[in-house]
């Protein structure tokens, strides 16, 4: 009994406990590499991304307002 119980415990310990540990759904080592300092590529501060996003949103809204004004007064 002890041997069978010990063999079952060892078999369960050898199995991965999740699909990520088993490698299903993509390689987790690749995902982790994207967020490390060793990853090559463009590094941008989050504040810069926020300012650029807000600037883009503002420019789209401004173009919509200008188009409305143009169609109202110049056509």
pLDDT digits 0-9 by tens, 58-70: 999 999 999 999 9
Give the pLDDT confidence score for residue 72 in this predicted structure.
92
- Contact assessment for residue 19 and residue 25, using Cβ atoms and an 8 Å cutoff: yes
Give 13-53 pLDDT, tens digit per residue.
555 555 555 555 555 555 555 556 666 677 788 899 999 99
Give the pLDDT confidence score for residue 75 in this predicted structure.
75
Give the pLDDT confidence score for residue 25 in this predicted structure.
55
Give the angle 30-16-28 at the CA atoms, nearest 5°.
10
Give the pLDDT confidence score for residue 70 in this predicted structure.
94
Rounded Cα distance between 9 and 4, Å, is 9
If you average pLDDT over residues 3-11, what whole number do you get?
66
Distances (CA, A) of 46 to 18, 39, 50: 32, 17, 6
């Amino acid at each position: 009994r002890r041997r069978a119980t010990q063999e079952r415990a060892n078999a369960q310990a050898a199995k991965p406990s999740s699909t990520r540990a088993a490698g299903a759904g993509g390689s987790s080592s690749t995902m982790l590499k994207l967020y490390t300092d060793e990853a090559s590529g463009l590094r941008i501060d989050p504040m810069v991304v926020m300012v650029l996003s807000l600037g883009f949103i503002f420019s789209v809204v401004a173009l919509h307002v200008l188009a409305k004004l143009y169609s109202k007064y110049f056509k």
